[in-house]
Structure 1
Amino acid sequence: MSSSVELLRTLVGFDTTSRESNLHLIEFVRDYLAGFDVPCELIYNTERSKANLFATLGPAHLPGIVLSGHTDVVPVDGQPWTLPPFELSERDGKLYGRGTADMKGYIACVLALVPSLVATSLRLPVHIALSYDEEVGCLGVRSLLAVLEQRPVKPLLCIIGEPTQLQPVLGHKGKLAMRCDVHGHACHSAYAPSGVNAIEYAAELIGELGRLGQQLRAGPHDPRFDPPYTTVQTGVISGGKALNIVPADCRFDFEVRALPSQDPAQVAQQLKVYAEQQVLPRMRAVSEQSEIRFSELSAYPGLVTDAQSQAAELIAAFCGSKDFGTVAFGTEGGLFDAVGIPTVVCGPGSMDQGHKPDEFVSLAQLHACDGMLQRMLAFIRA
């Protein structure tokens, strides 16, 4: 039987950066499960270059528990790693490598539980759900959920194993990422009034985003989140060719991270109305070809699970803690919840190490996750 550490060593060795295929990891897991006579489903993307995996152990006709994780990791490009990112290194009780915290450590613990699951008579099933492209907008899991939504029996609980230091998390904000393309009219900068300066009009729109953000600071507030209100920020901007040319094009990307009670699309809609009513008419007064276009880059809903729910009671029993919290980062949890699968977030490690050079998970956290899953096993044992 492979331990969680040995399995993590294998998983880290697969470069599953979101821009790459995850099939080598998925095929390893498929073959690993087949070694225990556990069949699984692969749900591919259109190009068949990536896949989700779903497997069931135990009585599939009953509601059970989903152990869910994403297989992709963020890039290491430009980060000052002192250890090889796609090899597992152990130092001072810490396991280093890309994805150790976010979130291959959890997946390794889930896979290490498989021998115990198949050797035990289960009164409830355990489902293993692995997805792709979570890091670029929770893209892959949607096709997996479309399949699960059609099934007559919904699970009792889904545990998303993002790193929370094994503290049970019942909520996170939703996110909407948008792109705005501003097209104006170029001319020589000596005749600037004859042009439509796309950078300046984009800056006006960004300024309006800032004002919308200030309004959101006033509320509504939810003290469970930090910050306790919906936020807006512009993260990327590009435009212009040379200083002596009035720029015809400018592009900027912005995001809204919304409380679960708020719809982030409303903020984007307010900016669109402002663009159409206040900005575009002035641009077209100079050049009728001027345009402002908005496009969605990614979106996922927030998560808020009732602390009095069965899902909360179960994760508290498995973790040994009712100290429920929220996290600032997003997960696939809101998407599971949206199709009727009660969801919590709980996994080994900390997001303080995720996405950084020399990412790590401690051996203590990995073993504690093994313990949490063993308590889950004790609960579902016949």
Structure 2
Amino acid sequence: MTDDSATAILADLVGFDSVVGTPNGAIMDYVAERMDRVALSCHRMTGPEGDRENLFATIGDPCRPGYILSAHVDVVPATEPDWQGDPFRLRRDGDRLIGRGACDMKGFVAAILAALPDLAAMHLSTPIHIALSYDEEAGCRGVPHMIAALPSLCAPPLGCIVGEPTGLAPVLAHKGKAAVAIRATGRAGHSSRPDLGVNAIHRLAPVLASVVSRAASLEKGPTDTRFAPPWSSLQAGIIAGGQAINIVPDRAEVLIEARAISGVDPEEVLEPVIAAADSCEVEWLSRYPALALPADAPLAALAERLAGRSPIGAVSFGTEAGLYQEAGVPAIVCGPGDIARAHRPEEYLRVDELEAATAMIRALGRGLAE
């Protein structure tokens, strides 16, 4: 007999090596098959990469305004040496369900799929939409294509619950983010004759100086005390270039990230840095806006009732919720687990957290039933 428990479904999901930036057809096949069992059709939308897709399904009448349950199915790589077992095989240790993505955020996907038979049996007067995306871990690259298709998929949604790990406490706000790669090209030569070459690393010096200066200025404000730190931030995260100490480097690259508080555009944070790039090549890697849901919004009250927890004002990590909000869909973040366990070896979700998330989704359905 097939085990349809949330724990068993999570084990199946963790078993898919759906690392960000890689094909995800196998895990989406699994989800679609689960939906087919309850006669639920889904829209599978291939992204421009050609080997990754988003998935969207509706329980109820898509022509009526409803609520979106949103999650991503990609995970960060699991190459850390401190794993005590195969990271893509769920292990249980007491009440801990251990595996890559168990917390971030296949646990929420498992909760949705476990609740699916109950939801499908309900006569929902207000529909529930399921939106699963790809490459969230690369800066929310997949979900914009699905959001752009929403007008053809359903009536304007009433709200979106993004199930990132928050301890099932509704989160009203998070920072936005933008990231760029800046590349400099020079001319190689022997280091004894730098006058005959062009040093690509040196050409990045004004960019790096701008990052340091801009980062310091951001600490002066504007600020929002709901965040830690309470200001927008900027940093150079990776720099690479050169072949040997005695060769003038002909190529160099720096990756730069901005995180912005609500009300600040992360792209604007990067403007002085882009200006300093001069003749360097600039590639935008990712962007998503900050989230800011008013505390008195109907979606905040709904999430509080469902989760049984008071809303949290803000968190500093980012999610796809800001993109839904930007598209006119009220959004909130509320899911099982703790973000501190994500992106680390021995990532885990507790059994009671998984069960609570499944119960929350079933409660949403009951509240929307005729």
Gaps of 5+ in 2: none
RMSD across aligned C-alpha pairs, in angstroms? Answer: 1.6
Q: Secondary structure of 2:332's match?
A: strand
| Matched letter for residue 373 of structure 1 | I
Deviation at 1:238, TM superposition (A): 0.9
Deviation at 1:241, TM superposition (A): 1.9
1:165 aligned to 139, 149, 167, which one?
167
- What is the aligned partner in structure 2 of residue 229 from structure 1? 231
| Matched letter for residue 269 of structure 1 | E
- What is the aligned partner in structure 1 of residue 158 from structure 2? 156
| Matched letter for residue 240 of structure 1 | G
- What is the aligned partner in structure 1 of residue 33 from structure 2? 31
- What is the aligned partner in structure 1 of residue 350 from structure 2? 362
- What is the aligned partner in structure 1 of residue 118 from structure 2? 116
Between 1:43-52 and 1:365-374, the stretch displaced more is 43-52
Q: Distance in 1 between matches of 2:169 and 2:237?
A: 30
Q: Distance in 1 between matches of 2:10 and 2:252?
A: 44
2:189 aligned to 184, 187, 202, which one?
187
Does residue 331 of structure 1 match 2:319? yes
Does residue 373 of structure 1 match 2:324? no
Q: Secondary structure of 1:326's match?
A: coil
CA displacement 1:116-163 (0-9 Å, x = unmatched) = 112222121111111111111211111111110456721111110111
Q: Distance in 1 between matches of 2:33 and 2:153?
A: 25
Q: Secondary structure of 1:325's match?
A: coil
Q: Distance in 1 between matches of 2:21 and 2:154?
A: 35
| Matched letter for residue 26 of structure 1 | M
Seen in structure 2, the aligned counterparts of structure 1 residues 222 and 149 have a Cα distance that, compared at 3 Å, is farther
Q: Secondary structure of 1:208's match?
A: helix
| Matched letter for residue 180 of structure 1 | I
| Matched letter for residue 103 of structure 1 | M
Deviation at 1:250, TM superposition (A): 1.4
Q: Distance in 2 between matches of 1:10 and 1:275?
A: 46
Pairwise mapping of residues 240-255 of structure 1 onto structure 2 (< 5 A)?
Answer: 240-255=242-257
Q: Secondary structure of 1:143's match?
A: helix
Does residue 315 of structure 1 match 2:303? yes
Deviation at 1:275, TM superposition (A): 3.9
- What is the aligned partner in structure 2 of residue 80 from structure 1? 82
- What is the aligned partner in structure 1 of residue 45 from structure 2? 43
Between 1:107-116 and 1:38-47, the stretch displaced more is 38-47
Deviation at 1:259, TM superposition (A): 1.3
Gaps of 5+ in 1: 277-290
Conservation of the 8 A alpha-carbon contact between 1:300 and 1:335: yes
Deviation at 1:236, TM superposition (A): 0.7
Q: % of aligned pairs identical?
A: 39
Conservation of the 8 A alpha-carbon contact between 1:177 and 1:254: yes
Conservation of the 8 A alpha-carbon contact between 2:166 and 2:336: yes
Q: Secondary structure of 2:325's match?
A: helix
| Matched letter for residue 187 of structure 1 | G
Deviation at 1:256, TM superposition (A): 0.5
| Matched letter for residue 215 of structure 1 | S
Conservation of the 8 A alpha-carbon contact between 1:216 and 1:230: yes
Q: Distance in 2 between matches of 1:205 and 1:144?
A: 35
Deviation at 1:233, TM superposition (A): 0.6
Q: Distance in 2 between matches of 1:219 and 1:19?
A: 35
Question: Normalising by structure 2, what TM-score?
Answer: 0.95
Question: Normalising by structure 1, what TM-score?
Answer: 0.92
Q: Secondary structure of 2:89's match?
A: coil
Q: Distance in 1 between matches of 2:139 and 2:258?
A: 13
CA displacement 1:51-98 (0-9 Å, x = unmatched) = 111111112222111111101111112442112111111112000011
- What is the aligned partner in structure 2 of residue 300 from structure 1? 288
Deviation at 1:47, TM superposition (A): 5.2
| Matched letter for residue 138 of structure 1 | C
Q: Distance in 2 between matches of 1:244 and 1:47?
A: 39
Q: Secondary structure of 2:217's match?
A: helix
* Pair member with larger Rg: 1
| Matched letter for residue 214 of structure 1 | A
Conservation of the 8 A alpha-carbon contact between 1:175 and 1:264: yes
Q: Distance in 2 between matches of 1:275 and 1:61?
A: 48
Between 1:213-222 and 1:360-369, the stretch displaced more is 360-369
- What is the aligned partner in structure 1 of residue 262 from structure 2? 260
Q: Distance in 1 between matches of 2:109 and 2:130?
A: 9
1:54 aligned to 51, 56, 80, which one?
56
Conservation of the 8 A alpha-carbon contact between 1:149 and 1:339: no
Seen in structure 2, the aligned counterparts of structure 1 residues 196 and 49 have a Cα distance that, compared at 3 Å, is closer
- What is the aligned partner in structure 2 of residue 283 from structure 1? none
1:205 aligned to 204, 207, 211, which one?
207
- What is the aligned partner in structure 2 of residue 279 from structure 1? none
Conservation of the 8 A alpha-carbon contact between 2:163 and 2:335: yes
Seen in structure 2, the aligned counterparts of structure 1 residues 97 and 314 have a Cα distance that, compared at 3 Å, is same
